[in-house]
Amino acid sequence: MYDIQTQQADVAAQIVDTQQQVDEAQAKYDAAMDTLKKQAVQNYTSDQVDYISVLLSSSSFSDFATRIYLVEKMMSQQTTAIDNVIAAKEELDTKQADLQSQKDNLDSLETAAQSKQTSIQTTVDEQSAYIAGLSSELTSLMAQQASERSAAAAAAVAAAATTTASGSSSSSSASPSSSGSSTGSYSSAYAAAESRLGCSYVPGASGPSSFDCSSLVTWAYQQMGINLPHSSSAQYSYCAHISRSELQAGDLVFYTDGSAPITHVALYIGSGYVIEALSPSQGVCEDAIDWNNLDIVGYGRV
């Protein structure tokens, strides 16, 4: 089935062909009219010959027969000229009617094309407005969730600081043998890290507003009174190693880019996501645990 643009092209080609036919029919009509006019002028300048007088003035039967032949021939020529004019005019009228019909058809197709374009643009505008509305709702929801996470993180950090101040000084010298002391501790660690979302990434930085990957983990556990080394490979050695199925919020996930055994560390927050100081362009952010750039080496618990 032709679309509108194809139909327009076909009709436009028909119009060109029909216009040529109209021009040819006009030329035939003009030629026939010219012939008829010349015959009319010739008759007029010959004193408007009276065919009956010509016949009656013959001197003999042979002369009479000759004159009849000549009169019939002259009358036949006039009749033929008139018939030619009539036929040429009919042909011209038919071709002009065809041409006008095709032009009307082209106008209708152009109107239909414009209507279709308007309809498409209306649909695009409606979809754009709908998407803009969804984007606004999503932005609002994300802001609300971020606010709730920040509030929870602040409360967790405050609670951890209070616990540390009340006499849990022994945790400052924690060793691998004391790993996995409580789920609450893990929650406090990831809540502290979550409060740093949006902070910048700077290699070698140690917080509280700029971090690299290992210093974010170190800083989060410092809020609980636990000191970890500022090195992802050292943290891997420090932790008790666990399986993926054992992961809890606050555990550590270790990665490599292939240049060394351990090149990156992130803090697990649950549901398949981690918090990490990723890169200068992304800073501290949340990401899926299986992101594509690095390979997972293992999992650890402090």
The span from the CA of 247 to the CA of 241, in Å, is 10
Please tell me the predicted confidence (pLDDT) of residue 176.
38
CATH for the stretch 169-301: 3.90.1720.10
Which amino acid is it at 149?
Answer: R
Please tell me the predicted confidence (pLDDT) of residue 195.
87
Which amino acid is it at 185?
Answer: S
Residue 225, sorted as left (phi over 0), alpha (psi -120 to 50) or beta, turns out to be left
Please tell me the predicted confidence (pLDDT) of residue 168.
43
Residues ≥6 apart with Cβ < 8 Å to 167: none
The span from the CA of 182 to the CA of 176, in Å, is 14
Parse the chain into domains and list their residue ranges: 4-137, 169-301
The span from the CA of 150 to the CA of 156, in Å, is 10
Q: Please answer whether residues 279 and 289 qualify as being in contact, where contact means their C-beta atoms are separated by less than 8 angstroms.
A: no
Is 169-301 in the same CATH topology as 4-137? no
What is the pTM for the complete model shown? Answer: 0.44
Tens digit of pLDDT at every position of the chain (302 positions)? 457 788 888 888 888 888 988 888 888 878 877 876 776 666 655 544 455 555 556 565 565 556 555 555 565 666 776 777 788 778 888 888 888 988 888 888 888 888 888 888 888 888 888 888 887 777 777 767 666 655 655 555 555 555 444 544 443 333 333 334 434 446 678 788 888 988 999 998 988 889 999 999 999 999 888 999 999 999 999 999 999 999 998 899 999 988 999 999 999 988 889 999 988 888 999 888 987 678 999 999 98
- The architecture of the domain spanning 4-137 is Orthogonal Bundle (1.10)
Q: Please answer whether residues 235 and 224 qualify as being in contact, where contact means their C-beta atoms are separated by less than 8 angstroms.
A: no
The strand pair at 200-201 and 210-211 is best described as: parallel
